[in-house]
Amino acid sequence: GAGVSQTPSNKVTEKGKYVELRCDPISGHTALYWYRQSLGQGPEFLIYFQGTGAADDSGLPNDRFFAVRPEGSVSTLKIQRTERGDSAVYLCASSLSYNSPLHFGNGTRLTVT
Amino acid sequence: EDQVTQSPEALRLQEGESSSLNCSYTVSGLRGLFWYRQDPGKGPEFLFTLYSAGEEKEKERLKATLTKKESFLHITAPKPEDSATYLCAVQAHTGNQFYFGTGTSLTVIP
- Kindly report, residue by residue over A48-84, the tens digit of the pLDDT: 999 888 889 999 999 999 999 999 899 999 999 999 9
Q: Cα(B107)–Cα(A77) distance, rounded to whole angstroms? A: 34
How many helices (H) and strands (E) in chain B? 0, 11
pLDDT of residue A63: 96
pLDDT at A58: 93
- Cα-to-chain-centroid distance, residue A32: 9
The pLDDT tens digits of the residues spanning A33-44 come to 999 999 999 999
* Chain B CB contacts of A54 below 8 Å: none
- A97 confidence band (pLDDT: 50, 70, 90): confident
Write down the H helix ranges in A5-112: none
Reference B97, options A108, A80, A60, A22; nearest CA is A60
At residue A1 the predicted structure's pLDDT band, cuts being 50, 70 and 90, is low
Q: Each residue of A3-30: pLDDT tens digit?
A: 999 999 999 999 999 999 999 999 999 9
Q: Which chain A residue is nearest to residue B88, measuring alpha carbons?
A: A42
Residues of chain B with pLDDT under 50: none
8 Å CB contact of B96 and A56: yes
